[in-house]
Amino acid sequence: MTLATTITIIAIAFIISALLALPLIPMLRRLKFGQSIREEGPQAHQKKAGTPTMGGIIFILSIVVTALALGWMNGLLTTQTVVLLLVLAGFGLIGFLDDFIKVVLKRNLGLTSLQKLIGQIVIAVVSYLLLRLGPFETTVGLPFTSFEIDLGPFYVLFLIFWLVGFSNAVNLTDGLDGLVAGTSSIAFAAFGVLGLVYGQEDLSLVAFSVTGALLGFLLFNANPAKIFMGDTGSLALGGILAMLSVLMKQELLLLLVGIVFVIETLSVILQVISFKTTGKRIFKMSPIHHHFELSGWSEWKVVIVFWTAALAAALIAVLPEVI
């Protein structure tokens, strides 16, 4: 895959996202598909109430169209690309149902945690079975080393944990305008480059499609956001990102590439453990991006710092493989 092809993939996905957003945002506003803001969240966020949500539909459609069209044209439609798009659509559907129940049916809790978990497990298992139809390694390797361990039949349990964990990690991170769209576009670009290095052009095609689609969405999601991705987008992104790391056999490298998502999740876990065991909170509010907001940082400053951290982590992960 040449540099020109890579740029073309990103550009096409970018344009499709931007064009889809133009009519969809006012349509969602007319339908009153607006985001409700938690009262216990930062007070500065109350002004965002009513901003159209479920915008993940925009980049999901862009990714699917770009990957299928260019994959077919370039002979890159493989079982792996199909599985990636299946995870994207499946996790996106779970998020869409959750958003629909909360926004349209006005039931604040949306899908229950158990309902979402069952849906995520089903998608993970179906993906695993599809992959096992062909040659599929059940090993997990330690990044930057030759050490690896074969999980054998237990790999399916790891896959479930990985997809569920990262889909929810990205979902937790989605609390500031442009935060997830920016950090995710960096992560997918990193895996796109790794795919080229490893000769997995089919995976690079999907990764760069996601990058372009997210950048197109970011035009409307950056502060002040005109649309939010909702669970529709965040669950889909986390699921496909985790699956991408699995197919590249760089599962644990995702802990570095997705360091922002990992830290956000750890901040929530630590906050809960601390409060339940000592009655005290470690952070002013979790996830940790809210802690910085309540410490006096502007929303833009938090987002830029987190984007920078994501970029630094991606470079650390990719450069040893490229050089």
What is the signed CA dihedral for 92, 121, 313, 261, rounded to 10 degrees?
70
Residue 98 assigned to a binding site: no
Phi, psi values for residue 137, rounded to 5°: -80, 135
Give Cβ neighbours of residue 237 (< 8 Å, ≥ 6 apart).
Answer: 56, 167, 170, 180, 184, 210, 214, 229
Token digits of residue 44? 């500065």
Phi, psi values for residue 149, rounded to 5°: -130, 135
Paired residues of 52 in beta bridges: 34
Residues shown for the chain: 323
Question: Could you give the CA distance from residue 267 to residue 126 in angstroms, rounded to a whole number?
Answer: 31
**What's the first-to-final CA gap in the chain, in angstroms?**
18
Residue 171 assigned to a binding site: yes
Question: Could you give the CA distance from residue 177 to residue 252 in angstroms, rounded to a whole number?
Answer: 28
| Residue 191 C-alpha from the chain's centroid | 13
Count CB neighbours of 147 within 10 A.
9
Which residue type, as a one-letter code, is found at position 178? G
Give Cβ neighbours of residue 112 (< 8 Å, ≥ 6 apart).
Answer: none
Token digits of residue 183? 């950090």
Query: In whole angstroms, how far apart are CA 229 and each of 53, 97, 195?
Result: 6, 13, 26
Binding-site members are: 171, 231
Binding-site members for Mg(2+) are: 171, 231
